[in-house]
Amino acid sequence: MVVNAPLPNRLTPLATALGLQPFYGDIHNHSDLSYGHGPFPGALKKAALQLDFVSVTGHAHWPDMPVDDPSIAHIVDFHVKGFEKLKKAWPGHYDVLKAADRPGRFTVFPGYEIHSNAHGDYTIVLADLDGGPLVLEDTPADLRTGLANRYGERALAFPHHIGYRQGARGINWKTFDARLSPFVEMFSMHGCAEHSETDRGYLHSMGPVDGHSTMAHGLREGHVFGIIGNTDHHSGFPGSYGHGRMALYAASHDRDLFWEAMQNRHTNALTGDRIHLVGEIGGHLQGSAVPAASPAFLNVEAVAGGAIDHIDVIRNGVLYRRISPAITPMTDKGVDPLEFLLHVEFGWGARGTSHDWEGEIAVKGGELLAVEPRFRGPEIVSPLEGEDTGHRLPEIEADANAVRFSVTAESNPNNTTPATQGMLIRGRAVENGEVVAKLCGQDIRIPLSRLAEGAKSGNLGPIDSPAWRFHQLARPREWQWRGRIELGDLVPGEYLYMRLRQENGQTAWTSPFFCR
């Protein structure tokens, strides 16, 4: 069993019929390559633990930086130093990227970002590791021209943390150009900018979400774009769990196919779990322009990372259909009733402490089919907020018999921000199966029947000591759904997308379909 192994075809018949499979990445995150924490080479190693592709981003340029305002001189200072650090490191950083790239297993893209009060911040991603230079421009129009002149179609740029108000580094829909930006970053550690009211509001000091800077507003204005999520993590931990990720759909793990999928908007935004959510209309995948049809049908396929609460179809900005597997279970008879998902989590403990976890988890009376690391880095954005923790690199390996791991977990900094580490195990076991684990020398045995009733938790010592939690088992019809949704007449000018929310709050969004 390979960590982060692709989903088997039996779980993804629709995607398989389309000749596609999901791949998961983070193409906007930071390290000490510019201003940020965590060593750049280490960031690539951490990314390889739980991602299929990555771009570690450097801070490069801010043409309208408010340099004359003394109240934010400290912010200007670390930006100026970070920009200069990246420019010096840029030529040589390609050697580190090439050493980390593993064709067919782990794909690395170069990337950097440009700030702008007037136009919003943009992340630039390059398709190749050929040592190309930084292209720094002041407007999206000039950036498109500059990238095209140097890189042709092998560069793109996308707006990120779009939800800030226009003029304060949020998206400017008036200067947005779909030829430069096939997608926008709708979710990251900054929060969610799907529409004005979400449960992941912007909390950074830069300010709250403005309704005219959201995905919903851009769609209402008629813009065509896909969506993605990334972490925007600033502590050298790409893919940090819960901070945002993206999915793309391609035929196989291949740099050029990944690039094609991004250019074609065949992408999803995720909060954290490696959720597979695909839609198809008349042979077209999410992100596509589809022809008018009467009647039209949306085929849906979901393989979640936990029990599904609901799947929404949003049509022209309005909830069109809500599917709950608890109310409308899928009718597919090919489901294996003995297959389960088990989320295991480690951390807690006294405030301001950390603990080095190591252990082994197995299932007696069954087998392990897949494991997905759910590792996260520290909650640091500004270099003025603290230093790199310096924790050791997490380790995880697995076979059909057991998962073995070591990872450092910080205690939760408050009662609303998780700092736990974890993993998801997909397995198969008879009804009287049993979880057998050893965590930091503590032997644990839990019948699967107990986990079917609810989560089981424990501490390594007395109250306030580090703790573990084996979450409630998710059974197949809770984390899988496939079906067909009638759309009636689909007419030019319409758009629709899907949103899947799990019971644990983790969410996935597809790029929209556009009827043209």
| 8 A C-beta contact, residue 255 and residue 107 | yes
| 8 A C-beta contact, residue 232 and residue 160 | yes
- Write the pLDDT tens digit of every residue in 416-441: 999 999 999 999 998 899 999 999 99
Q: Where are the domains of the chain?
A: 19-272, 293-322+481-515, 339-380+392-474
What is the CA angle 99-102-105, rounded to 5? 155
The alpha-carbon radius of gyration of the chain (Å, integer) is 22
| 8 A C-beta contact, residue 513 and residue 283 | no
DSSP string covering 260-299: HHHHTT-EEEESSS--EEEEEETTEETT-EE--EEEEEEE
| Rounded average pLDDT over 110-137 | 98
**What pTM did the predictor assign?**
0.97
- Write the pLDDT tens digit of every residue in 295-330: 999 999 999 999 999 999 999 999 999 999 999 998
d(CA 172, CA 174): 5
Is the pLDDT score of 385 beyond 70?
no
Domain 293-322+481-515 and domain 339-380+392-474 have a common topology: yes
| 8 A C-beta contact, residue 336 and residue 428 | yes
| Rounded average pLDDT over 153-157 | 98
Q: What is the pLDDT of residue 382?
A: 67
**503 band by pLDDT with thresholds 50, 70 and 90:** very high
Q: Which CATH architecture has domain 339-380+392-474?
A: Sandwich (2.60)
Q: Which H, E and C letters describe 24-64, residue by residue? A: EEECCCCCCCCCCCCCHHHHHHHHHHHCCEECCEEEEECCC
- Write the pLDDT tens digit of every residue in 365-379: 999 999 999 999 987
**471 band by pLDDT with thresholds 50, 70 and 90:** very high
Distance of CA 33 to the CA centre of its chain: 21
d(CA 77, CA 69): 12
**214 band by pLDDT with thresholds 50, 70 and 90:** very high
Angle between helices 73-100 and 40-50 (to 10 degrees): 60
Other C-beta atoms lying within 10 Å of the C-beta of residue 491: 11
Is the pLDDT score of 90 beyond 80?
yes
Superfamily of domain 293-322+481-515: Immunoglobulins (2.60.40.10)
d(CA 109, CA 51): 13
Query: How far is the first Cα of the chain from the last one, in angstroms, to the nearest whole number?
Result: 44
Is the pLDDT score of 221 beyond 70?
yes
HSE of 251 in the Cβ direction (CA atoms, 13 Å)? Answer: 5
Is the pLDDT score of 390 beyond 90?
no
d(CA 93, CA 57): 11
Fold of 19-272: TIM Barrel (3.20.20)
Q: What is the pLDDT of residue 384?
A: 62
Q: What is the pLDDT of residue 2?
A: 79
- Write the pLDDT tens digit of every residue in 177-194: 999 999 999 999 999 999
Q: What is the pLDDT of residue 223?
A: 98
- Write the pLDDT tens digit of every residue in 277-303: 999 999 999 999 999 999 999 999 999
